[in-house]
Structure 1
């Protein structure tokens, strides 16, 4: 056994992508990652540009997860 422990503050890329797939338009993945999800949610509600956010986040999620997990150290 190792002495490594999993911190509850670390973010999982798998969970982020699952939230993105099933609730991406509602910004669930951004709320999970504590990244200004309300901005995405408001623009979707007001302007209906949800697909832009969903496609952009496909490429942004890995960097956001890495930033959040490195910021924890």
Structure 2
């Protein structure tokens, strides 16, 4: 579900909670690209984005196709970080909504 639609019915307090959590936990494209540049051969950018399985595969098999894999990877870093941040925001929205539902049920 689109995160904008999910945030439509939230209060200002709930939106502030979501923004606060996102500021703490979101991934940075700049850091991902820096990790790719300096630690790309060791899959640093993959570990940073949470793609642990692919990072391990890159460590194991990446040496054979190191330059090709790293070159192709640079074109997908930004989109992957956007996807991870959207998933993170979705999880935070769901958590805030669940907390709100539990709070309203407890006061009823």
Task: Name the count of aligned residue pairs.
Answer: 68
TM-score (norm 2): 0.58
CA distance in 1, matches of 2:83, 2:57: 19
Kept in 2: contact 1:43–1:49 (CA 8 A): yes
Q: CA deviation at 1:52?
A: 1.4
Q: 1:30 aligns with which of 29, 43, 46?
A: 46
| Deviation of the 1:44 alpha carbon | 2.0
Unaligned runs of 5+ in 2: 1-15, 90-108
Kept after mapping to 2: 8 A contact 1:25/1:53: no
State the TM-score, normalized to the length of structure 1.
Answer: 0.83
Structure 2 residue 60 is the aligned partner of structure 1 residue 42: yes
Paired position in structure 2 for 1:56? 72
CA distance in structure 1 between the partners assigned to 2:42 and 2:69 by the alignment: 10
Residues 20, 27 of structure 1: 8 Å contact kept? yes
- Identify the residue that residue 98 of structure 2 maps to in structure 1: none
Asked which structure has the greater CA Rg, the reply is 2
Q: Show structure 1 runs of 4+ deviating over 2 A.
A: none
